Amino acid sequence: MSAIALRLPQKAEVWLFDCGEGTQHQFLRSDLRVSQLRRIFITHMHGDHIFGLMGLLASCGLAGNIERIDIYGPPQIHEYLQACLRCSQTHLSYPLKVHAVEPGVIFENEEFTVSCGPLHHRVPAFGYRLVEKDRPGRFNVECARALGIPSGPVYGQLKRGEWVELPDGRKINGASLCGPTQPGRKFVYCTDTIFCDRAVELAQQADVLVHEATFAHLDAQMAYDRLHSTSTMAAQVAHLAQVKQLIMTHFSPRYAPGNAIGLDNLLEEARAIFPHTKMAYDFFTYDVPVSRE
């Protein structure tokens, strides 16, 4: 079932994309901590993407140290959660904020911007794009000392690339004392959807694109009938969007071991179009590398 955890070590936070049935049990089997869960992004209201949500939220209250959880998703997500809480008489011991998303920026802080865009599925579905903001390069302390700049709060301003005026009247550009800018990384999550231009737009220049690949190319007609993607459609999105790494997920059980067409076939089909393709599996992890200009 769909559930992708994005770990942000610098913030000691975990952000979750979709929450299929059994997600809380998978948390217990991983090295992730439920107490660090802060944001959940739901793509659409089909059960294989939301049936684990209520159980996970109830368990979060038992984990302690939960300041607040923000949930983003289609407008129906609020009604669904309210019905679950009411009918099960569940009380959450922490604040829960639900955000009905619309295309565009849905969250921004000093480090990240998250936006969403509509996909093409049987029900309203959204893809999500998370962009890490660029950061100044390494601050050259030795150079600052050689210029006679006294240490203190001014170093913080210089590290951020700001202009500062010293007591002696000199004006120093902090950017000149920093190394190359560290470009922010881009993570994109697209499911469920058939191939569409909006997915390509959302995935532009992504470091990592997680894209559904429910069917093999040989079963393309089923993909069109059910508005899901084939492995080749996922690869086409990655190729057209010029992403660095494609990770396919959301495979149909029809490709389980022992069947005529297996998951290896889907991987071969995708790599024929986009070589930098991997297949997700339970507890698969991928470290998004930091690039430098």
The DSSP code for 227 is T
Strands 246-249 and 208-212, sheet pairing: parallel
Distance CA 201, CA 179 (A): 31
Strand partners for 208: 187
Query: Reading across the β-sheet that carries 37-41, which strands appear in turn?
Result: 4-8, 13-17, 37-41, 69-73, 96-100
What letter represents residue 22's amino acid?
G
243: helix, coil or strand? Answer: coil
Concerning whether 192 is annotated as a catalytic residue, the answer is no
Distance CA 251, CA 273 (A): 18
The DSSP code for 138 is -
Strands 163-165 and 171-173, sheet pairing: antiparallel
H or E element in which residue 233 lies: helix 231-241
Catalytic site residue from 48, 192, 225, 287: 48
Q: Which of 188, 201, 158, 195 is nearest to 176 (CA)?
A: 158
Kindly give, in sequence order, each residue whose CB lies less than 8 Å from that of residue 86, ignoring residues fewer than 6 positions away.
Answer: none
Distance CA 258, CA 114 (A): 40
- Residue 40 burial (C-beta neighbours within 10 Å; 0-12, 13-18, 19+): buried
Residues with active-site annotation = 48
